[in-house]
Amino acid sequence: MSELLTVAHLSKQFAAQPVLRDISFALNQGEVLAVLGRSGCGKTTLLKILAGLEAADAGTLHLQGQDLHPVPPNARQMVYLYQEPLLFPHLTVFENVAFGLRIRKVAKAEIDQQVSEMLDELDLRQHAQKAPNQLSGGQRQRVSFGRALIIRPRLLLLDEPFGNLDAQTRADMQQLFLRVSRQHQITSLFVTHDSREALTVGTRFGYLDQGALTSFASVAEFVQDARTAIGSELAFWESIQQTSRSSG
């Protein structure tokens, strides 16, 4: 596997308060790094620095060997997906998905073909001419995905993208993300506070706490680390199971 992203000794502070402390990691092509972290741990700042929306105080970023420091956000080919789908309300579903291609001045026939294929893939064809406010939460998030994927990003940055969805839609979206990620060989940094979501979507795992990132070599290490609280959750469900068995 070729190394796609290399982050070395990244630090950032706001008003003398450290937000990111000496963060280093590397990401290979097609990998999904699931970063677990609580609110205020610095995960949004990390994603914004990678996207070029914030400047780091120290450290280096390289994407396919290219120093990202002088590259503006629009030229990084990294899409930042928020918790909210943030569909453009003045555009239809079709035009939302076509947005990145129109900005890149792709030929009309090519746009029509690519957008139609993407809408088919995300099962959104019948909603193509609808306004964003006519869609459900899950459909909006799918449109947001399509809008990001169509420009073939080198890296997808996801900031708790399914955080506002109900449990069933969230599970569906996680499966959709897995399918599309594998199919398009998308490299992603997926930030979440839900350990189950991290285990579902990730191929590699990290834990961000007070601005410091711990990378895990295996799923077992990630599960066993007390800070992820996965072990205690497993123990809880096992105790429930035992109780139900003994009472039955």
Partner 1 sequence: MRSRLLAFLLILLFGLPFGLLGLLAVGEGWRFPAALPPVYSLNVFRSLLAADNDLLAGLGRSLLLAGTVAVAATAGGFVLARAIARSRRAARLEAASYLPYALPPVLLAVLIQPFIIRLHLSGSVGGVLLGLLLVALPFATLLLGSFWSGQTTEYEHLARTLGCTPRQALRQVLLPLAWPRLRTALVQTFLLSWFDFGLTNVLSVGKVRTLTVQVFTYVGEANAPLAAVASLLLVLPPAVLLLVNKSALLRKP
Contact positions toward partner 1, by CB under 8 A? Answer: 48, 51-53, 72-74, 76-82, 84, 86, 88-90, 99-100, 103-104, 147-148, 151, 157
Output the smallest distance, CB 156 to partner 1, in A. Answer: 10
Output the smallest distance, CB 88 to partner 1, in A. Answer: 6
Q: Identify which of residues 48 and 170 has a Cβ nearer to partner 1 in the complex.
A: 48
Residue labelled with tokens 């990678």: 50
List the end-to-end C-alpha distance of the chain, in Å, as a whole number: 51
Q: Identify which of residues 13 and 214 has a Cβ nearer to partner 1 in the complex.
A: 13
Output the smallest distance, CB 1 to partner 1, in A. Answer: 25
CB burial of 163-197 (b: ≥16 within 10 Å; e: otherwise) equals eebeeebbebbbebbeebbeeeebbbbbbbebbeb
Output the smallest distance, CB 72 to partner 1, in A. Answer: 8
Q: In what order do the strands lie in the sheet with 204-209?
A: 78-81, 155-159, 188-192, 32-37, 204-209, 212-216
> Which H or E element spans position 221?
helix 219-224
Listed in sequence order, the residues at least 6 apart from 171 whose beta carbon sits closer than 8 Å to its beta carbon are none
Q: Closest Cα partner for 21 from 60, 58, 51? A: 58
Output the smallest distance, CB 215 to partner 1, in A. Answer: 24
Q: Identify which of residues 157 and 213 has a Cβ nearer to partner 1 in the complex.
A: 157
Question: Are the beta carbons of 83 and 160 closer than 8 angstroms?
Answer: yes
Q: Which amino acid is at 8?
A: A
Q: Identify which of residues 55 and 226 has a Cβ nearer to partner 1 in the complex.
A: 55
Q: Identify which of residues 36 and 81 has a Cβ nearer to partner 1 in the complex.
A: 81
Output the smallest distance, CB 147 to partner 1, in A. Answer: 7
Output the smallest distance, CB 195 to partner 1, in A. Answer: 26
Question: Are the beta carbons of 128 and 94 closer than 8 angstroms?
Answer: yes
Question: Are the beta carbons of 88 and 42 closer than 8 angstroms?
Answer: no
Q: Identify which of residues 158 and 208 has a Cβ nearer to partner 1 in the complex.
A: 158
Q: Identify which of residues 101 and 230 has a Cβ nearer to partner 1 in the complex.
A: 101
Provide Rg for the chain, Cα atoms: 19
